């Protein structure tokens, strides 16, 4: 007889994962809020010094990460918009299926999702992504970025940590429990 407590299939969702969806929403809101502040208080391409290695510099990114393909003729907007939308849907399904005992992986997915949606909103509404955080050292400049990019980067780091260090321990624990 099937256990009514066990759900199976593609639409297996756990309510505790709404916390992670909430983290994605916080990332989206903070990203959009800071982009609005940058867009309304900064002049385009005019750096405002904050620290000896940091400026607020409003820039528009028509490409992908670090302006990759920004001068590709326009097709990249639709490509990156479609890709971000598809990945976001996949990540929502993945996120909602996370078991309760896992923490780092859903946090990583939530941050990547929040960042992807934050930049997706810009692409759909503006046709470009608003960047404003400009880090540099002497004459070496890192491409400008935003909070969505920061969330994606942090999420990716956490995903790599989970993949290379924590997944192995989960598999070992599952094997030990299986053999008991």
pLDDT digit string, tens, across residues 139-166? 999 999 999 999 999 999 999 999 998 8
Residue among 31, 122, 149, 162 flagged as catalytic? 149
- Bigger pLDDT: 47 or 68? 47
Per-residue pLDDT for 45 more than 80?
A: yes
Average pLDDT (83-88) is 87
Put the strands of the sheet holding 48-51 in their side by side order: 48-51, 54-61, 129-137, 140-141
Based on the residue annotation, tell me whether 149 is a catalytic residue of this protein: yes
pTM: 0.84
Which token pair is 13? 């969702």
Q: How far is CA 51 from CA 39, 47, 128, 176, in A?
A: 20, 12, 27, 51
pLDDT band at 9 (very low <50, low <70, confident <90, very high): low
Whole-angstrom distance, CA of residue 37 vs CA of residue 132: 10
Greater model confidence, 128 or 80: 128
Half-sphere exposure of 100 (CA within 13 A, CB side): 3
Among 31, 122, 131, 162, the active-site one is 131
Q: What tokens does 8 get?
A: 């199976």
Residue in 85, 150, 151, 153 with CA at minimum distance from that of residue 123: 85
- At residue 3, the pLDDT reads 43
| Active site (annotated) includes residue 46 | no
Report the number of secondary-structure helices (H) and strands (E) in the chain.
5, 4
Give the C-alpha separation, 147 to 30, whole Å: 7
């Amino acid at each position: 007889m099937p256990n009514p407590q066990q759900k199976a299939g593609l639409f297996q969702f756990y309510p505790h994962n709404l916390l992670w969806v909430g983290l994605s929403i916080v990332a989206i809101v903070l990203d959009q809020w800071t982009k609005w502040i940058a867009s309304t208080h900064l002049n385009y391409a005019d750096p405002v010094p904050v620290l000896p290695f940091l400026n607020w510099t409003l820039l528009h990114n028509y490409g992908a990460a670090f302006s990759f393909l920004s001068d590709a003729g326009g097709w990249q907007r639709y490509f990156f918009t479609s890709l971000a939308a598809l990945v976001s849907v996949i990540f929502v399904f993945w996120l909602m299926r996370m078991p309760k005992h896992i923490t780092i992986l859903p946090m990583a997915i939530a941050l990547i999702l929040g960042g992807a949606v934050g930049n997706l909103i810009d692409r759909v509404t503006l046709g470009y992504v608003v960047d404003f955080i400009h880090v540099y050292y002497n004459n070496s400049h890192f491409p400008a970025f935003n909070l969505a990019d920061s969330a994606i980067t942090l999420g990716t780091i956490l995903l790599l940590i989970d993949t290379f260090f924590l997944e192995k321990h989960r598999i070992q624990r599952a094997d030990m429990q299986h053999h008991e």
